[in-house]
Each structure stands twice: as structure tokens, then as C-alpha cells.
Amino acid sequence: MAEKGNFDFIYNPILEKMRELVTPINYSTYIEKLVPVDIDGRFIILETPTELFAKYITGVLADKMREAIIKADVGISDFRLVVEGSEGYSYNAPTEEKFEQPSNLNPKYTFENFVVGKNNDFVYAAALSVAEDPAGIYNPLFIYGGTGLGKTHLIQAIANKIVTEKPDLKVIYVTSEQFTNEIIDNMFTRKPDVRDKGSRLRQYYRSADILIVDDIQFIKNKKAVQEEFFHTFNELVAKGKQIVISSDQPPKDLPDLEERLRTRFSGGLLFDILPPNFETKIAILKKKALEKKCIVPDEVLNFLAQDSGDDVRTLEGRLAKVIFASKLHEEPLSIALARNALSEAISEGGKEEITPANIIGAVAGYFHITKNDILGKSKKKEIVLPRQICCYLMCELLTIPLDSTGKELGRDHTTIIYSRNKISELCRVNDKIAKDVDDIKNIILKK
Ligand code: ADP
Ligand code: MG
């Protein structure tokens, strides 16, 4: 055990590795603020200044921290966080867990929140069966269907159910885009320790009990990635592990996919999701309205569901827009209001210029706070996040320089960059925030 108060000889090598693994912003904002305060067996205990820090580190940087600890090879294998001034370890305890369950799942994507209709009842039953009995009769499970029809929702529902009901099973959920980026990052580097990370990456994916890959179509045209995936796939199947894949097309229509992968995929069971019919659309709208704690009159639901051929994401977006308009104008939900809200969107789509005021108004409306909250100085969590989202959207949607964005929001240039980077990182790891940002963007763009 190290002498209390001086853990630098253990912690400095970890810091060095961390510097290579995280963005400079994350490093200077979070990692540099951590203070090593103790060693407890195989754990290093790090003190964070606030609870928010601890949450961010646990939610976003924990995997990197573990990676750095292993690479530093200083006799430590994990870490715990303690918030300055509080007693006991927090956040990443309990540490006895053998592995981290995925943090990239949207907790709202559950079977309970999924509306079953004629368009998706088979695939729903198959997905539920996989969640109840992984590596049973549906393995691999291949789900395909057009965009916005519920593939991600359903396969994350499998993950969410297993994580809560069978916590001993290791679930990995990844988009094929993320898988591709990781593999490619590793392949084209000459740095030995990054190559080393490659084998750890391989081990990581091959250690899954359930591997879920979303939007597999992105690996077409990428031979080396397909090769890597092929081996992962075979090894997992040979070990009797479950694989779930989603795609926007069936395997036979993915011409750039290697034949042997296509054969593997087709060797399992293929299920398609179709667009919902009118009744299912109504049921979905009711469920979504309930989630938003809104009562929407039947005639408005009918109006929204009338247009056939829509995907569920569009349907949900329309509902959000109408509810938003009703709150904005403080008018009850009616067909007239809905028609207005949506026709505005149709007739003006894309033409109207987006202004800082539009963005601030949309963000404030979405989070039920005021414009002054956004421009003010409150440090409350409920205000800070919307304010940062506002910065992010202004950077994304406006073509004005950062300094002007700063002036509009009464913030300096560094704060704007920090907020932009933070939200862009959060969007990557937190589906809920990604969806909020997307919804607000659609409101602003009047899509
Ligand atoms: P995909 O991955 O097929 O593009 P998503 O799973 O992202 O589609 O679904 C888009 C949105 O529609 C999500 O918010 C999801 O919750 C919702 N959704 C889709 N199908 C259903 C359904 N049957 N019941 C409830 N919500 C659904
Ligand atoms: Mg999807």
C-alpha cells in the first residue's frame, strides 16, 4: 500500500495514458481536476470536486479511465470516485461487478413502450423471445425495415431487458458506424500501444454474451471491417452467444456485403418491420402523448395519423410539433391548431432564415424555461444543459462567428466552444440528449 498523500508515482503514469485517450477539453476540464487520495487494494481512489463531475466521469469517461489504468500497468486495476467533502465511495461502486453494462442505451426504449401492431407483431415476439432466452431459437436475429420504424427501439429493448433481468450477462450494443470507426482507428495506426488497444477491442467484442449491432448496412464497402466482424460473429456463435443485427435492408439486398457474411446473416432468422397502419399509428400517438404527459383529443390524433405511409419517427415529430405549438401559443390542442402548426412547417420549410432568437425560443419552449433563464447566470442543472444545447445549436445552425454567438448569449468564446464540444460528446453517448437535440433542431427547421 502506498504512503498516504503521495500517490503520484502510481497516478502520473495513469494520467499520461489518459492524456492520449481523451480529448484535450475533457482532459483539462475533468481529468486534471481529479486528485488521487488513496489506494484500496486494486483500486485507486480519486476525489472529484462535485457530484456533477463524478456523474460525467462515470457516464462518459469511465471506460477510458479503466483503459488508462490497465495500460499504465502500475498494479492497479480499477478506480473509485469520492466527492470532495463527502464520506465513502460513490458512483462507480459497486466495484465487484465483472463488467460495465452498456451506458449507450436509451432507457425509454423498452418492450412496454413499444406498440405492437400487425406491422411488427412477429418481430416483436422474436425480440422478446431473445430477451427472455438469449441464444435460444432466434440466433442470430436479423431485423430489417425502413428508417424510423422502430428497429433501434426494439433491439435496445432487448438490451434493456437483459441488463435489468439478467445482469450476469454481458450486453454490448454498438452501431456498426461506431464499430467501423474503432476498427479503422486501430488498423491504420503504427503506434504499438494503439495496436495493442486493437487486440483489446477485439477481446471486448468477443467477450459479449449478447452482441447487438445496429444499422449493419454501414459496413458495406468496408472489406477489412467486414472481415473483423465476420470473425467476431463466428467466434460468438461458436461459443453459443446471442447476436442481434438491424439493417435498413434484408441481407440479400446488401450487394456490397461479402457473400460469406450474407450467408451467415441469412442463416438465422430474418424479420421485417413494416410501416404501421392507421390503428397502430393512433395507438403509438396515444402512448407518446402519455409519455409527454399530454392529453391529446381523439380528433387531433386522427388528424395526425391520417396521412398514410409515414414512419413512426415522423409521426412522433409531428405530435411534438403540435404539442409545442399549443404550449407556445397557449392554445388548447385542436385540429385547427395542428393544421396550422404543420402547414407552417410545410409551406415555410427551410426558406425562413434561422436567427439566434429562433434558437433561443425553441430551446426555452422545449425545456419549459424562459429566454431569460438561458441568457441568465443560473447554474442549476435544469438551466445549464438547455443553455449548452442552445450554444451547440447556434454553432451548428448559424453561420455567424463564435464571438457573435457569444455576444448573443452573453458568454465568452471559450464557454461557447466548451458547451459546443460537451453537447456534441453527450449526443454521442447519451441517446436521450441526442434525441432532445434532434427534436429541437426539427422544430427550428420546421421539418
Ligand atoms: P429505426 O431505428 O428503425 O430508424 P427507431 O427505433 O429509432 O427507428 O424509432 C424511431 C422513433 O419511433 C423512436 O422514438 C421510437 O421510440 C419510435 N417508435 C417506432 N416504432 C414504435 C412502436 N411500435 N411503438 C412505440 N414507439 C415506436
Ligand atoms: Mg435506428
150 lines ligand 1 (CB under 6 A): yes
Mean predicted confidence (pLDDT) in 260-279? 90
- What is the model's pLDDT at position 350? 44
Q: Does 313 sit in the ligand 1 pocket, CB within 6 Å?
A: yes
pLDDT classification of 71: cutoffs 50, 70, 90? confident
Whether 352 shows a pLDDT value over 60: the answer reads no
Instruction: Indicate the pLDDT class of residue 290, thresholds 50, 70 and 90.
Output: very high
Mapped onto helix, strand or coil, the DSSP state of residue 349 is coil
Give the lowest-confidence range in 84-88, 89-93, 329-333: 89-93
Q: Assess whether the C-beta atom of 114 lies below 6 angstroms from ligand 1.
A: yes
Give the strand order in the sheet containing 78-83: 35-40, 43-48, 78-83
| Arithmetic mean of pLDDT, 257-286 | 91
CA of 31 to the centre of ligand 2 (A): 33
Which atom of ligand 1 is found nearest the CA of 113? 25
Any ligand 1 atom below 6 A from CB of 284: yes
- pTM value is 0.62
Q: CA-CA distance, 173 to 249, in Å (whole number)?
A: 20
- The pLDDT score that the predictor gives to residue 70 is 85
- Cell numbers 479503422 label which residue? 184
Give the dihedral sign, CA 434/437/443/447: negative
What digits encode the pLDDT tens for the residues 401-424? Answer: 778 888 889 998 888 888 888 898
CA distance 400 to 417: 14
Which is more confidently placed, 39 or 302? 302
Q: Measured from the CB, is residue 148 less than 6 Å from ligand 1?
A: yes
Laid out side by side, the sheet with 171-175 consists of: 171-175, 210-214, 242-247, 141-145, 269-273
User: What value does the mean pLDDT take over residues 179-186?
Assistant: 81
Torsion angles phi and psi, residue 231, rounded to 5: -70, -40
List 418's β-bridge partners, or say none: none
Test site for ligand 1: of 153, 248, 249, most ligand atoms within 8 A of the Cβ: 153
Beta-carbon contacts of 79 under 8 Å, excluding residues fewer than 6 positions away, are 43, 44, 45, 46, 65, 66, 69, 92
What local confidence, expressed as pLDDT, does residue 206 receive? 92
The pLDDT of residue 349 is above 60 = no
153 lines ligand 1 (CB under 6 A): yes
Q: Backbone phi, then psi, for 205, in 5-degree steps?
A: -65, -30
Provide the percentage of residues in the chain whose pLDDT is more than 90.
Answer: 45
Q: Between 298-306 and 278-291, two packed helices, what is the crossing angle to 10 degrees?
A: 130
* Residue with CA at minimum distance from ligand 1 atom 6: 150
- The mean of the pLDDT values for the chain is 86
- pLDDT of 192 > 60? The answer is no
